[in-house]
Amino acid sequence: QQQVKQSPQSLIVQKGGISIINCAYENTAFDYFPWYQQFPGKGPALLIAIRPDVSEKKEGRFTISFNKSAKQFSLHIMDSQPGDSATYFCAARYGGATNKLIFGTGTLLAVQP
Helix (H) or strand (E) run with residue 79 in it: none
- Report, in Å, the least distance between residue 74 CB and other proteins: 17
Minimum CB separation from other proteins for residue 96, in Å? 6
Residue 84 CB, shortest distance to other proteins, in Å, is: 18
Query: Closer to other proteins at the Cβ: 15 or 68?
Result: 68
**Cα–Cα distance measured from residue 110 to residue 7, given in angstroms and rounded to the nearest whole number:** 14
Terminal Cα distance for the chain, rounded = 39
Contacts with other proteins, residue ranges (CB under 8 A): 32, 34, 36, 41-46, 49, 87, 89, 93, 95-101, 103-106, 108
Q: Which of 7, 9, 64 is nearest to 33 (CA)?
A: 64
